[in-house]
Chains A and B, each alone.
Chain A
Amino acid sequence: MSRVVVVGRAALLAPLRPLPLAPVAVPAGFPSPAEGWITDELDLNEHLVKDRTATMFVRVSGDSMEPAGISHGDVLIVDRSLRPVHDDIVIAVLDGELTVKRLWISPRGVTLHADNPRYPDLHVGELSALSIYGVVRTSLHVFTSR
C-alpha cells in the first residue's frame, strides 16, 4: 500500500511571479495582529521551475515513454539550460520535430532510447551531431480535470 504524506496546500493557480502582499491599510489605525506573519503559500512554480527564463511547458503526443511515467497528453516541464547527461529524458530535434527520448551515452556512441519496448532505439554517432532542445525535469499527469 502507498503512503500519502500531506506537505501542505498548493496554490495551483498562483501566477509565475506572485505579487508582493501589500501592507493592509486599516482605517481605524490599528494594524492587524497577523500582519508581519503573512507568508506566501506553497507555490508549484517555485517547486517545479528552477530557471524560469529557460523553462518550456510542452504537450506529449504518443506512448513511447509510457514506462517512464510519461503518457499521451501529459505536460512536460523542460529545462533548456541543463547540459544533458547519460540517462536523462530529453527533448531531441529529429527531422525538424521535437521528440521525447531517453539519452544513452556510451563509448560506442549515443542512443536515443524509447522506454516502451514496442519502439526501436535510434543510434546517433556523436552527441554533437544531435540537437537537444532541453532536458525533461517533470511530467505532469492529470487524473481528473473536473
Chain B
Amino acid sequence: MSSPAGSRRIALVDANSFYASAEKSLDPALADRPVVVLSNGEGAIVAASSEAKALGFETGTAWFKVAGLAARHGVVAKSSAYENYGVISNRMHAIIGQAAAAVEPYSVDEAWAFLGPRSDAVGIGRQLRAALLQNLGIPVSIGIAPTKTLAKLVNKHVAKRVPAHGGVVSLDDAPAGWLDAHLAAHPVTDLWGVAGRTGKKLAALGIHSMRDLRDADTKMIRKRFSIVLERTVLELRGIPCIPPDPLHHTKQQLMFSRTFSEPVTTADRMTQVMSIYAQQASGRLRRQGSVAKTMTVFASTSPFGQQHHSPVATVTFPEPTDNPLLIAKAAIAVLPPRMIPGYRYVRAGVMLTGLQPVAVQPMLDLFEPSPKARELGATLDRITRKAGPGSIGIGLAGLRTAPDWAMKRENLSPRAFTHWDELLTVAAK
C-alpha cells in the first residue's frame, strides 16, 4: 500500500438492501422474514432482504412472474413507501455526519465518510454501524481504505460478503499481498466507475484484471480514455484523487416523477398530472428554501409497449422562482401539446434545476407577478401539511376526486415519520 497507515481514510457506508431494511425497521414482526419491496405501478422488485435473496428473489424481477413462488415461501411484499425511505435516508446521512470528520452523501443509501489521520478508523466504523442499527434499525456495510475506489471495492467484495467481519472492514487490516492478489483475480469491469463498454476497449489493450489497470500507464489511459479513468488508476495505487461530486453537496436539482397505475392518453389528463407534479415540486423547493432557474418536464410511454414516445421540454424562468402558479403554468404549457394523441404514457415528471437559496435572490423581485405569490405557496404548504397531500391545489390539482392514475400503493407501510394518524402503535398490555 503506498499510503502509510496513519494518513486519512475514506469509509464507504452503504445500507444493506436499504428499502427492505427500512420496511423491517418499521415492523419488528418482519425481523427474520424474507421481505421484498415492489416499485409502484410497474410491480418490479426494487429491493430484497438477505432472507429473500437467499430464496432466489432478485432486484429487477417482474413481480407477477414470482408472486406464486413468493406466497409459497412466505415472502412479504411491500409497496414502496418513499416518504419513510426519504426520512430514514436523511437521518442516516445525519448520523454518519456526526461520526465522521466530513461526509459526502453519494446516494439515498450510501455516503463517503472522511476520517481524520489519527483516528481509529475501524473503531469509528463499528460505532457508526452500531448507532445506525440501534437508532434507525438500518444495517450497513462499511469499507475503509485510503481512496474511494478501494473503499468501494473493500465494501462490496469483503464487508458485504464475509459476515465474520461484522460489516466493517479496513484495507489496513488485510494480510500482506492480499490486495495485489485480489486485484489480479477480479475483472476490471467489477470496479466502481468502469462500464462494460470501457471494459471491452481495455480488453483490446490487454487490460483484463483490476491489477492490469492499476499497473497501466496513466498517460496512455488519459489519452485513450479519460482523466476520469486515469483517476481510477491512481486510486487503485492508493492515491486519493476522485473529487467530491458537487451535485451531491448542495442539492442542485429536484425531481418529482411517478409511474401511473393507469396509462395517461389525453392532453387533459396530462395537464392534470403536470399541475399536481409541478405543485409538489414547488412545495419541495420551498421546504428546502430554494428557488429554481430552469424546469424540465417529461413523460414516457412504456418501454414494453408497441408505440414509444418520450416528450421532453425545458423552460427557463425569467427569474429564479418557487412560485407554484408560475411553475404549474409553465409545465402545463409545454408538455401536454407535445404528446402524440392515443399513445399510452405511463410515466411523467418535473425536474427543477439551477437551484439556489431564496436569500441569494435580488431583494426586489421585479419579475415576480406579485409578492402575494410567495404567500400563496406558503399557504398551500401549510394546508397540505395539516390536511395531507392532495387536500388542496391550484387549478386542476384542486380536484377532490382521487384520479385513477394515482399510484397503486397496496400493502403500504404506515407513513410513521410524516403523518400523525399513521404513527407506529405500541401495545400497553
B and A form one assembly: yes
Chain A nearest CB from B212 CB (Å) reads 43
Residues of A within 8 A of B416 (CB): 56, 58
Contacting residue for A58 out of B289, B359, B426, CB 8 A: B426
A53-B94, A97-B29, A100-B428 given; name 17 further pairs at CB < 8 Å: A51-B135, A52-B91, A52-B94, A54-B95, A56-B416, A57-B420, A58-B416, A58-B425, A60-B426, A64-B429, A72-B428, A80-B136, A96-B29, A96-B30, A98-B426, A98-B427, A114-B429
How many A-B contacts are there with CB distance less than 8 Å? 86
Task: For the complex formed, measure the closest distance between the CB of B3 and the CB atoms of chain A, giving whole angstroms.
Answer: 32
Contact of A75 among B94, B136, B423, B429 (CB under 8 A): B423
Contact A63 B428 (CB under 8 A): yes
Beta-carbon contacts under 8 Å, A54-89 to B: 54, 56-66, 70, 72, 75-76, 80-81
- Check A81–B135 contact: CB distance below 8 A: yes
A78 to B327, CA, bound (A): 40
Do the beta carbons of B424 and A98 come within 8 Å of each other?
yes
Is the beta-carbon distance between B135 and A76 smaller than 8 angstroms? no
Given contacts A22-B358, A56-B416, A96-B29, contact A81 B134 (CB under 8 A): yes
CB-contacts of B239-296 with A (<8 A): 289
With A22-B358, A93-B28, A96-B28 known to touch, is A80 a contact of B135 (CB < 8 Å)? yes
Q: Mark A20-38, 1 if CB is under 8 A from B, else 0.
A: 0010010100000000000
Can you name 25 A-B pairs with beta carbons within 8 Å? A53-B91, A53-B94, A53-B95, A53-B98, A54-B91, A54-B136, A59-B425, A59-B426, A63-B428, A64-B429, A66-B428, A70-B428, A75-B420, A80-B136, A81-B135, A91-B426, A96-B27, A96-B28, A96-B29, A97-B29, A97-B427, A98-B424, A98-B425, A98-B426, A114-B428
Q: How many interface residues does B have (CB within 8 Å)?
A: 27
Ranked nearest first, the 10 interchain pairs of A and B with the lowest CB-CB distance are A96-B29, A62-B428, A54-B135, A64-B428, A59-B423, A53-B91, A98-B426, A93-B28, A62-B429, A80-B135
